[in-house]
Structure 1
Amino acid sequence: RTIYMLGSTVATFQDNSAHGEDNFLILDLGNNAFLDAVMDGVTGHGGEEASQSVVDALAAASIKSPDDVVGVLEEVNAEFYQVGGGRFLLTTVSVALFLEDRLYIISAGDSPVFTVGSDSFQQLAGRVGGFLHAGVARAVGAAETLSNLNRAEIGPAAGDRLVLATDGVTDNIMVGELVDMIRAASTPDDAATQVNGTVASRIEEGALPAQLGRRFRHDDRTGIFRFFNT
């Protein structure tokens, strides 16, 4: 059998004190394969139940391809829509699936995913830095069919760093700042501590850098930081 060379280490943080609607999942699929996911349940629309339901469905599934992930999300979407009619049971989801040295991103809604290399970064899902919230319309549960899933695929290299977050993180830190923090970190734990600490201190001050142009958005925040290595 093929030996896949790329391993990884991972760290997370979560502060769910604002609404209690963020969720995340980390699955070790064996042979260095993994599934990482973040969900941001839509406040006032059954978000807590919705985000937990997506976690449960992904954790229970047998996932051997990106299409398996899509299948789970389509099934959950149909259930949510049947019960909530597009108004209740809504959540974003961003999934990073790593199989055979390929990284597949599948997302609905605006929770960002990006990779950071030594001299570049690539946003693979969601939005970063305070654009209009178009995410709800694309959330799981918002429409009868999940037709506008965002999908991407890359081949990461050793030294690349993968970040999944909810907008409680990325609305309060500029992209450049975040990329610099990830790049400067020596371990995933280091990255998680640095990013979480920065957001926490901004909550305390109640203010953001001028470029973000407004007061702090108080929201749940979740981050997954994964560093690829050989």
Structure 2
Amino acid sequence: MVLAETAGASAGGLEFLWQQRGPFFSGLLGTVELSVVAGILATIIGLIVAAMRVSPIPALRVAGTAWSGFFRNTPLTLVFLATSVVLPLVGIRFAWADAIGVDTFFIFAVIALSTYTSCFVADAIRSGFNAVPVGQAEAARAVGMTFGQTLRLVVMPQALRSVLPPLASMYIAMIKNSAIAEFFNVGELTKFFDDQVRDHPSTCTPSSSRWRSATSC
């Protein structure tokens, strides 16, 4: 009896989700867009920071280390808050976003998520650089290659194999972290479910009669 009621509750939930498929897919698309754009930007920033951390110039190494250390030890919620509140206060409002139909809060979320993720991407890439034998870089410099050429043509292709697994894990974590954007009015998947719980409490919460029937025994 309990299993039958539970199955009925699950079927009802799927039916309700199908009825709300429009907002659901809109929220899913928002999560995908936020994750893809932030992931690309985080990769670019992370690559630059990783190159700075292995640079022969001390000032660049210090700057790269400071970037990674600061954002890695700052809570992501605080990064979101600083981006969405502090940037407008100092006059950075991205007024051009409205002209092209992009939500300003979406841009703030991309900046926050990519900035936070970039420090972990930088650490993974730097670890890949360090995994390449030192003799490879020394041989490249011996034939007259610059630091940039050595990094791009010799070190990076060899580091790619060891970098991909940790990067994949970080991108998965970034998708999960995108749920925080819901608290800053970004239309993504978590916001969809939060809206449904608020608008349809009898269907979406354990207090519904169907749920009570399924768990009464």
TM bucket (normalised to shorter chain) is under 0.3
State the structure with bigger RCO (CA 8 A, min sep 6), 1 or 2: 2
Tell me which protein shows more helix as a share of its residues.
2
User: What TM-score does the superposition give when structure 2 sets the normalisation length?
Assistant: 0.23
Kindly name which structure, 1 or 2, has the bigger radius of gyration based on alpha carbons.
Answer: 2
Q: Which has the higher strand share?
A: 1
